[in-house]
Amino acid sequence: MDRGNQPLPRTPSMRLDGRRALVTGAGRGLGRACAAALAEAGAHVTLVARTLDQIQALARAIRQAGGSADAVKLDVTDLEAVARMVEAAELFDILVNNAGTNRPAPLIEVTATDFDAVSDINVRAVFFITQAVARRLIAAGRGGSIINMSSQMGHVGAPNRSVYCTTKHAVEGMTKAMAVELGRHSIRVNAICPTFILTPMTAPFFDNQAFRAAALEKIKLGRLGKLEDIMGAVVFLASDASALMTGSALMLDGGWTAE
């Protein structure tokens, strides 16, 4: 047998044409970047956030760039509203659980109100919107890709971030458990774990030169993350290029957790 005549293997496509994606917290920052990346790759993107004008503007921008998008005002902590929206929508092949929050404070000053507020968005909402999307995929006999926006703080600890670290460690465990349970349905579940990303929302924090220097000392590549650093990763996890990847954490931390 002449093995030299065998056809070369072909790289799986990172195109998402014909697929539908749901992105939570899509109005700004990481969510906006994820939505733009998925739309550029060919997916129809449903943008979800509490502030309607932001996601409507993003939907228009995506359509003007030749993509496909619609906007839905939704509070992801309202579980009944989440269930109604997912049930009424066309089937989502891709879910990006990006909505999240943080209320930094020293451990001894954390209030129950702050703990519950961060946990409700970062953990409870992620769990139940995933449940709603997975139920529909299973009922339809369809596979899919669920992408949880975690953090490097899901793998380490940090001062003034006891609650945030708690929730992101929970997301990491949730990702693995969901991957184990949903794998037989061809539904993949993975997490993206960014370091500090420079966005309009985080920029004021880095005006504090001491904070900036401390962060850069931990990031081995010597720079803060950019939105573009997230965009390729979310398309990879949503696409057939990552078809054998589930229950994993994709570290985009510039080497923060390498030591």
Which member of 73, 164, 176, 226 is catalytic?
164
26 burial level (CB within 10 Å; 0-12, 13-18, 19+): buried
Q: Which H/E stretch holds residue 23? A: strand 20-24
What's the Cα-to-Cα distance from 11 to each of 3, 58, 143, 240, 242, rounded to whole Å?
19, 31, 20, 9, 11
Contact 50, 77 (CB under 8 A): no
Residue 219: left if φ>0, alpha if ψ -120 to 50, beta else—which one? beta
Choosing from 168, 218, 220, 226, which is the catalytic residue? 168
Between CA 138 and CA 228 the distance in angstroms is 32
Active site residue 226: no
**Residue position matching structure tokens 């061809």:** 186
Angle at the Cα of 69 from the Cα atoms of 238 and 98, rounded to 5 degrees: 50
Clarify whether 176 is annotated catalytic.
no
Annotated catalytic residues are 164, 168
